[in-house]
């Protein structure tokens, strides 16, 4: 009996009919909401051709607004991902340390930054620190505020993923490392952590979606990311709603690509984990005669029926 059969009963005629009715109702509701939105946009002249034509006819819409905003978004997301990965691994291992003081400090840092909203951290770092610092250039202060807030929050999430990934491993992994003379720290770094990172790689790739979306919060601290570029574009061309819709489509496409990447990585890791070695039907070679294991046979030795005879 398959696991699916054991856990879930196949729907009967009534259940299938009920599911079909609910599906039809859901589609009708979605179509109705879409029709209302389109009607409202049409009554507000948001569907007129002149509102959308700049995205096709005017290259400055892309070169001056959308592409620079997209580059700023991807730059902040890339820096945040790299720094959050380093932060998460360091403090995740700290939470697994055998030293009580290290565990407490790491746990306090992770729980604090995981509990504080990202937007609040951006506002605090920008207005309370970077915008007042003499050593910070004015054009880099918004980027620093966005990256630092995203690093601390998402790094704390990654630290929890590291801790849970190590705890999910069989206890025999740690016991094997200790049995060959490794210290607990060496066992964690050499045996447990690589396996945990491999197991949680799909979740880490999925975290990229969160980082990319949260970069839009940088518009509060004047960071010129994609959402800020859309607002500026809407003001310049008097088409704010179309500009936001185009930017929303760009976010959806990028996030969907990252989601597909996470799914591909998960399937690749699953298939690799269940891949067996090549099957061979060759019979083992039995050595008879004066030769010892690992020794060199004489020139007069010959192979007879799968056996080496002198």
Neighbour count for residue 87 (Cβ, 10 Å): 22
Give the whole-number percent of the chain exceeding pLDDT 90.
43
Per-range mean pLDDT, top range of 70-74, 165-169, 176-180, 190-194:
70-74
Contacts by 49-58, CB closer than 8 A, 24 or more apart: 51/238, 51/239, 51/241, 51/242, 52/239, 52/242, 54/237, 54/239, 55/242, 55/246, 58/237
Cα atoms in the 13 Å half-sphere on the side-chain side of 220: 17
Model confidence at 215, pLDDT cuts 50, 70, 90, reads: very high
Model confidence at 40, pLDDT cuts 50, 70, 90, reads: confident
pLDDT per residue as tens digits for the range 250-281: 999 998 888 888 778 777 777 765 444 444 44
pLDDT recorded at residue 153: 95
Q: Answer whether residue 231 shows pLDDT above 70.
A: yes
Per-range mean pLDDT, top range of 46-50, 184-188, 241-245, 296-300:
241-245
SS (H, E, C) 102-119: HHHHHHHHHHHHHHCCHH
Is 295:231 a contact under the CB 8 Å cutoff?
no
Model confidence at 218, pLDDT cuts 50, 70, 90, reads: very high
Model confidence at 189, pLDDT cuts 50, 70, 90, reads: confident
Q: H or E stretch including 287?
A: strand 286-287
Q: Answer whether residue 160 shows pLDDT above 80.
A: yes
pLDDT recorded at residue 284: 45
Q: H or E stretch including 42?
A: helix 13-43
Average pLDDT over residues 190-212: 79
Pick the closest to residue 75 from 125, 159, 150, 131 (CA basis).
Answer: 150
Domains of the chain, start order: 60-273 (1.10.3720.10)
Q: H or E stretch including 277?
A: none
Give the whole-number percent of the chain exceeding pLDDT 70.
84
Model confidence at 8, pLDDT cuts 50, 70, 90, reads: low
Q: Answer whether residue 5 shows pLDDT above 80.
A: no
Residue 42 token pair:
């049409």
Q: Answer whether residue 303 shows pLDDT above 70.
A: no
Pick the closest to residue 261 from 83, 84, 81 (CA basis).
Answer: 81
Residue 152 token pair:
């601390």
Higher local confidence (pLDDT), 195 or 245: 245
pLDDT per residue as tens digits for the range 105-149: 999 999 999 999 999 999 999 998 898 888 888 889 999 999 999
């Amino acid at each position: 009996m398959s696991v699916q059969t054991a856990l879930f009963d196949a729907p009967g005629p009534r259940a299938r009919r009920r599911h079909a009715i609910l599906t039809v109702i859901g589609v009708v509701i979605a179509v109705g909401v879409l029709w209302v939105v389109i009607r409202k946009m049409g009554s507000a002249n948001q569907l007129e051709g002149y509102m959308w034509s700049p995205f096709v006819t005017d290259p400055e819409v892309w070169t001056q607004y959308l592409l620079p905003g997209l580059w700023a978004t991807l730059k902040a997301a890339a820096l945040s991902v790299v720094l959050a990965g380093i932060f998460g691994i360091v403090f995740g291992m700290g939470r697994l340390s055998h030293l009580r003081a290290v565990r407490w400090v790491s746990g306090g840092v992770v729980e604090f930054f995981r509990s504080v909203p990202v937007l609040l951290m951006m506002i605090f770092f920008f207005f309370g620190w970077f915008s007042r610092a003499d050593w910070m250039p004015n054009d880099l202060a918004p980027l620093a505020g966005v990256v630092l807030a995203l690093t601390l929050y998402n790094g704390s999430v990654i630290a929890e993923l590291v801790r849970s990934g190590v705890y999910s491993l069989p206890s025999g992994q740690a016991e094997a490392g200790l049995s060959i003379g490794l210290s607990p720290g060496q066992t964690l770094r050499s045996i447990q952590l690589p396996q945990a990172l491999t197991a949680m790689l799909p979740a880490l790739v999925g975290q990229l979606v969160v980082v990319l979306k949260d970069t839009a919060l940088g518009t509060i601290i004047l960071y010129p990311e994609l959402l800020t570029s859309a607002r500026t574009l809407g003001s310049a061309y008097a088409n704010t709603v179309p500009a936001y819709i185009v930017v929303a489509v760009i976010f959806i496409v990028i996030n969907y690509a990252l989601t597909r990447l996470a799914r591909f990585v998960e399937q690749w890791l699953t298939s690799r984990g269940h891949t067996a070695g090549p099957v061979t039907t060759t019979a083992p070679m039995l050595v008879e005669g004066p030769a010892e294991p690992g020794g060199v046979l004489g020139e007069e030795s010959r192979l007879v029926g799968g056996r080496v005879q002198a």
